[in-house]
Amino acid sequence: MIYYEEYGDAENPTIIFLHGMNFPQTFYKSYCLAEKYHIVVPHIYGYGEEADKTYNTTQVVDAICELARQYDRNCILVGFSLGAQLALFIESYFPELFRGGIFISALVDKNEKMIKSLIKPNLMMSKTLKWKRFMHLQGKAFGLKGEDLEKFVRYAASVTEETIVATIDNGIDINEFAEKFMSIPYPTMSFCGIREAAAVKNSLYRITELNGRCDTDLWDRAAHNIPMMFSDRLNKTIETYMESIFNGN
């Protein structure tokens, strides 16, 4: 079983948060939702407590599905960036495991040239993951402190170049499973920041074209930072969505 953290009462509907690249604590500011819901936070292979492995999409998908099955469809996926790509992919192929999904800043409309162009700059940026002082500041921006902050710094330093390359070149391209995404039988949501890279916004437009049951939006003022910097709005959005899915409001 993949390593995961959990918060709240397991009898409540479950939110499985799939974190972004490098940072298992992406949704730290949303853990307060555990007052009403059961929160589950798996550490994607290659990151956090699973850093001894190298990221592999097939293995991660299998592990998340195994995790979700124990909640007997009483759950949704909420993913950001890498986690959103995975959530969208998983719900397209295994919709029977979930009641809904929220995809935040999902880069899923891709081509080979784009993928190659992303690898080098991400490898260069990954060097900052080893700078403890910088990562302390980054962690504080996530709202972390104490032991959680120290874990954040340790997790960042443990990410390998092999995982970074495999994460970017992960084989998740919505154009290869468009029909399955179009057939998701329940309402989903997808949004990103208006200040995000064009490729992320283009992915949102593609999602909008393919599935009319997916409620899409561009968030004013936001960039690639919604869970960290716009957590109040995000948490209200998740709560409203959960109420509509599980209470029929």
User: Residue 128's pLDDT band (boundaries 50, 70, 90)?
Assistant: very high
pTM of the model: 0.97
**Over the chain, what is the mean pLDDT?**
96
The two beta strands, 75-80 and 100-104, are parallel
Q: What is the pLDDT of residue 247?
A: 85
Residue type, 210: L
pLDDT in tens, 7-37: 999 999 999 999 999 999 999 999 999 999 9
User: Residue 104's pLDDT band (boundaries 50, 70, 90)?
Assistant: very high
Handedness of CA 211, 14, 68, 235 (dihedral sign): positive
pLDDT in tens, 77-99: 999 999 999 999 999 999 999 99
pLDDT over 70, % of the chain: 99
Q: What is the pLDDT of residue 48?
A: 98
- pLDDT of residue 213 exceeding 60: yes
What are the domain boundaries of the chain?
A: 4-110+172-246
Element (H, E) at 190: strand 188-193
The two beta strands, 4-7 and 38-42, are antiparallel
pLDDT over 90, % of the chain: 98
**144 and 152 in contact (C-beta within 8 Å)?**
yes
Q: What is the pLDDT of residue 156?
A: 97
Q: What is the pLDDT of residue 80?
A: 98
Q: CA 87, CA 239: separation in Å to the nearest integer?
A: 18
Class of domain 4-110+172-246 as given by CATH: alpha beta
